[in-house]
Chains A and B, each alone.
Chain A
Amino acid sequence: MTEYLENLKNQSVAQAIVEKALKACKVREAARKAKEVARAKSQLEAAPLVGKLASCTGRKAEENEMFIVEGDSAGGSAKQGRDRRFQAILPIRGKPLNVEKKRIDQVLANEEFRSIITALGTGIGEEFDIKSLKYNKVIILSDADQDGAHIRAILLTFFYRYMRPLITDGHVYIGMPPLYRVAKGEKIVYAYDDKELSKVTATMGRGYTIQRYKGLGEMDPPQLWETTMNPENRQLMQVTLEDVAEAERLVTLLMGDKVEPRREYITAYADFNRVDTFLEHEGRQK
């Protein structure tokens, strides 16, 4: 065989053999890739989320809610504080990827986004199918601080880029934990913003104490349920998509990779002279 191939006369045969082998190799390669993509996708659909997602027992998608919670510490209290019949908890660690600056394969490789995609069951991009959505409400629950706001923006960007119908159909909500807890004796009132705090403290009279919540982890599970998760009491913000052009502009501008327009926008809108008014309440309290 070797002799035959080494003979110059048989070069055309040898050439043909090589070409055939190369072709077969290419075909195998393509098939392997296709298989891999399919596997990655089916993995996403069937990946076990045990230990990550605390799913709910109810099977009616239209009643179910999924909370995406910032940090494992807050995730823990959310799991304990929830109503497991219809509330699922998915904690995410740290800051997720900014999908606006990443390619789709990087996004798909990201552990946190994989969990979200799998948990929602809809697929992403062109394959997004709202009918397979497992939760009617997807609630982003992040800390009431600046990093929480950042995480919220990153998650919204992800939904906007890869699961837009989720927003257009009104499935995306933002959980609103209280900012203050005003207590006087047995009476406890939560305030969700500064104006409310003024009103509450005005009706409370003297001798109350105010706790200012910086993170969800500061709340006990029952507190979290009572203030943020209980459908009877909680306040939610539904994210809508009215002006797609404007939304597109802001997402690109705030999350994209061009620095200059972002700087201009921030310079135009940021208020660098914000005054902390908490002290005034403090003063009133004494």
Chain B
Amino acid sequence: MARKKDGSQPPKSEQPRHEIIQRPMDEVMHMSMIPYAEHVILERALPRVEDGLKPVQRRILFTLHELGVTPDKPHKKCARIVGDCLGKYHPHGDSSVYDAMVRMAQPYSMRGLLVDGHGNFGSIDGDSAAAMRYTEARMAPLALEMLRDIDKDTVPFSFNFDDTLKEPDMLPARYPNLLVNGASGIAVGLATNIPPHNLREAIDAAILLMDNPDATTRDIMTVMPAPDFPTGGCLIRNEEIEHAYETGRGKLTLRAKVHIEEGTSGRKLIVITEVPYQVPKAAMLVKILRLSEEKKSLLGGIYDIRDESDRTGLRAVIELKRDVDPMAILAVLYKYSDLQITFGVNMVAIAEGRPMQMGVKAMLSYYIDHQKRVITRRTQYELEQARAREHILAGLMVAVNHLDEVIALIRASKNPKEAKEQLMNRFGLSDIQAQAILDMRLQRLTGLEIMALRKEYEAILKTISRLEGILKSEKKLIAVIREEMSEIRAQFGDDRRTQLIEDDAHELPVIETKPVAEEAAIMRLRDGQLRRMSPKLVDKVLAQPGVGEEVAEVIHTTTDSTLYFFTNHGNCFTLDVEKIPESVRQKERGSLLTGLIAGLGDGEHAVAMICSKTDEMEKKGELLFITRGGMVKRSSASEYAIRRARFAALNLKDGDELVGMAQVSPGDKDDLLLVTRNGMGIRFRLDTVPTTGRATAGVKGMTLDEGDAVCWFELPKPGDMLLLLTERGFGKRMLADDMERQGRAGKGQKLLPLTKNGAIGFKLAGCLDVTHASAVIIKQKHGQVSTISAGEIPVQRRTDKGELLVSVLLDDIVVYVGAVSKDQEN
């Protein structure tokens, strides 16, 4: 038992006393944690290499031994066993003892059962055992082999916690229990996790190493290829096993045992008959159910999950939908659920009084040394017993050989003491021998008995020479161990439960199947609403009268594409097409952009939109941005292939806004045309705008007067017809070609004589490309809406002032002008 470490304070012999010692925090922490760590490491969490038991387990077995509850006796109440164990050897909580005993009685926890429980000892579903007042227990037959020869002085004993009783430091453990039952535990700064093994294989491995101490890990693996878990399952045969056996550390991959059955109506069933070690079945199924809901794309094929376990055994069923490949589902389950686990081997045990990480060979070597000591000590013990008996028998033989003289001598003696002395003097016998002769019953003098005595004497002499032989020869010693272990192997050995399978990870690729992309049409309305619908439906919707006016744009795309919205604040927002609710009826309200994307600022709205798959953005060529302040920026579209909900489309100066965006081809030699609110226009070559990165401000496209702002732009083609309309309702059509090409960043030309007196208006209300327009819609602030046939608007030259198209009264102004295309008219 550990002691308080610090005893440096000189003790005072006189009492009473009163004193306060001072200790710095760090020292107190040290002297508190170190003994605790030592204690947990040595006496709680880790098994001993010799018998593979933690102290509490050893104490339980020893208590069972002392109580005599062997397999041939009736069960005893667990509370009694726990009470005995607590009171005698284990000064801790009762649950620590009972929990440990319960585990030793669980066939799914122990590869070699040590306790035979009666009652509810828990289940593989993780249910706990009944309280200890209900359950009963006794030793399992294998426990006898753990304890065998313990009374023959085979193992050292130490005092218990109150120094009133002695308990074994280790059990004789006549089979390699550390390997057979494994161990797991967490100490301070250390932990252990040793997998269980097959008894036959472990004994074979021990015998192999005993016969050939130079055997390598690989040699050992010829007889003990891998761990064998009590719950069976399938272990993947890979190099990690050898690594774990060699170094004591490795990651094993363990799977449930499954097979495929044909279910009703063509559904296939994945049937689980064995679960991985230490995986509670119920929790595993719950997790699979949750996974099937979370990962619909992968596990959508699961139709039902049932636990069909009963008294005939474990059986859990995952029923699949029709035409679903069970192997594909299994591959996913192996990857994401506890149907396949990683067993982290970390073989740490107490050897030579300290925790040690060791491989299988070291473990077996320590075990063999332990067995040699056990058998040597037992042989010595038996030899002493035999010699004592031989000594007595030798005396009796003397008596039998000189029977008459002995009888005469005894008869002549006055008392037993004299008789003994006479015998000792006459025949040179020892005190014990003389006493034995005196204690001899007369019936032993019959001829038959004398024969038996002679035979026994001969037998004991043989025994002595045999025992002496064992002590003298290591070979004989090993032979004894081998023989006895082989007996255990024959009596308790069973077939391997965990099947070794080849690593087939590459055969079962997990393909994250994306939902099949469907064709979709995105309809953007002038008021900012978005609708997604099938291409069929969009035609019907567009065929409705009056709809054309509301629709700003229709994009034909697929559901795996992404929409990129560019806002007046210079941001780009992304929205996956499939996230837009699909409209199924002709007349249906769309969704507002603010409802579909988060993070729009105050007054922020989309001014442009493109649609593309993120990885196909480069197909969009280059993007051209125009701002109110006259800045122009072009960047490669691939710069915008960003999987983020929101990012900067360009850098804007304070107060500036994005007017619009257009797609252009790299190296485009076309012109760009900008129109301002003051009626100024400029046309310059696009290739004078350099291509820059995404987060840049671009270059100046036009020099603006104070208070002026770019309101419209286009990439004019030959023959393009523009419509210019002032706030006061004056307008004209004009050929784009009427504008001369100028240099970039100039002031441009006057497109309409907006004079200071405001005769035709102070500002431009709008500018439009009406080349393909049949009609123009004009809206006024006070609500008046007019539709004018496009052809009726006079075509004038650049310097003309236009004509009154709509009457704008008093403080009313034109706020909107839009075109109705010839297609929409139809």
Contacts and interface: CB of A to CB of B under 8 A. Distances in A.
A270 interface: yes
A143 to B, nearest CB: 10
Given A147-B36, A174-B28, A247-B25, A190 B15 contact: yes
Contact of A238 (B20, B26, B29): B20
Interface string B1-20: 11110110111110111111
Q: Which of A15, A189, A266 has the most CB of B within 10 A?
A: A266
Contacts of B589: 8
Contacts of A103: none
B810 interface: no
A282 B163 contact: yes
B24 A240 contact: yes
Nearest to A9: B527
A133 interface: no
A195 B11 contact: yes
A37 interface: no
Contacts of A259: 189
B35 A266 contact: no
B425 interface: no
Nearest to B355: A272
Contacts of A272: 38, 41-42, 353-355
Contact of A269 (B12, B23, B34, B163): B34
B21 A239 contact: no
Interface string A162-201: 0000010000011000010000000001111111100110
Interface in A252-278: 254-255, 259, 262-263, 265-267, 269-274, 276-278
A167 B1 CA distance: 31
A11 B592 contact: yes
Nearest to A157: B29
B4 A262 contact: no
B11 A191 contact: yes
Contact of B189 (A160, A232, A266, A271): A266
B267 to A, nearest CB: 45
B188 interface: yes
B37 interface: yes
A234 B16 CA distance: 8
Contacts of A61: none
Contact of B4 (A147, A193, A277): A193
Contacts of A124: none
A55 B21 CA distance: 26
B556 interface: no
B346 to A, nearest CB: 11
Contacts of A199: 11, 13
B22 A149 contact: no
Contacts of B20: 173, 235-238
B32 interface: yes
B162 interface: yes
Contacts of B162: 212, 214
B161 interface: yes
B17 A233 contact: yes
B741 interface: no
A237 B733 CA distance: 99
A266 B36 CA distance: 10
Contacts of B527: 8, 11
A254 B163 CA distance: 32
A235 to B, nearest CB: 6
Contact of A247 (B16, B22, B29): B29
A156 B23 contact: no
A15 B529 CA distance: 13
B128 interface: no
A238 B27 CA distance: 12
A231 interface: yes
Contacts of B353: 272-273
A237 B23 contact: yes
A106 interface: no
B33 interface: yes
A100 to B, nearest CB: 11
B594 interface: yes
Given A193-B7, A233-B18, A238 B23 contact: yes
A237 B28 contact: yes
Q: How large is the interface on B (under 10, 10 to 19, 20 to 34, 35 or more residues)?
A: 35 or more
Nearest to A211: B162
A174 B527 CA distance: 75
B94 to A, nearest CB: 13
Given A247-B29, A270-B38, A240 B22 contact: yes
A265 B25 contact: no
A279 interface: yes
Contacts of B354: 272-273
B653 interface: no
Given A250-B26, A270-B38, A203 B163 contact: no
Interface string B228-259: 00000000000000000000000000000000
Contacts of B28: 152-153, 156, 174, 237, 239
A267 B37 CA distance: 10
B372 interface: no
B15 A189 contact: yes
Nearest to A267: B189
B308 to A, nearest CB: 40
A231 B19 CA distance: 9
A156 B91 contact: no
Nearest to A234: B18
Contact of B21 (A145, A190, A236): A236
Interface string B150-173: 000000001101110000000000
Contacts of B594: 15
A127 interface: no
B772 interface: no
B16 A144 contact: no
Nearest to B186: A259
Interface in A1-20: 8, 11, 15
A242 interface: yes
Contact of A195 (B1, B7, B21, B25): B7
A241 B37 contact: no
B768 interface: no
B634 to A, nearest CB: 34
A156 B3 contact: no
A240 B11 contact: no
B36 A240 contact: no
Nearest to B44: A146
Contacts of A150: 32-33, 36
B38 A274 contact: yes
Contacts of B161: 214
B40 interface: yes
B190 interface: yes
Contacts of B592: 11, 15
A195 B589 CA distance: 90
A126 interface: no
Interface string B27-55: 01111111111111110000000000000
A153 B36 contact: yes
Q: Which of A157, A239, A249 has the most CB of B within 10 A?
A: A239
Q: Which of A15, A192, A255 has the most CB of B within 10 A?
A: A192
Contact of B15 (A145, A152, A233, A273): A233
A10 to B, nearest CB: 11
A150 B190 CA distance: 16
B29 A251 contact: yes
11 contacts: A147-B39, A150-B36, A193-B4, A194-B3, A196-B13, A199-B13, A241-B25, A266-B189, A272-B38, A274-B3, A276-B3
State the 5 A-B residue pairs at the shortest beta-carbon distance, nearest first.
A196-B11, A146-B39, A263-B189, A262-B189, A153-B32
Interface of A: 8, 11, 15, 144-147, 149-150, 152-153, 156-157, 160, 167, 173-174, 179, 189-196, 199-200, 203, 212, 214, 230-243, 246-247, 249-251, 254-255, 259, 262-263, 265-267, 269-274, 276-279, 282
Given A247-B25, A269-B34, A273-B353, 5 more contacts: A8-B529, A195-B11, A230-B16, A243-B26, A250-B26
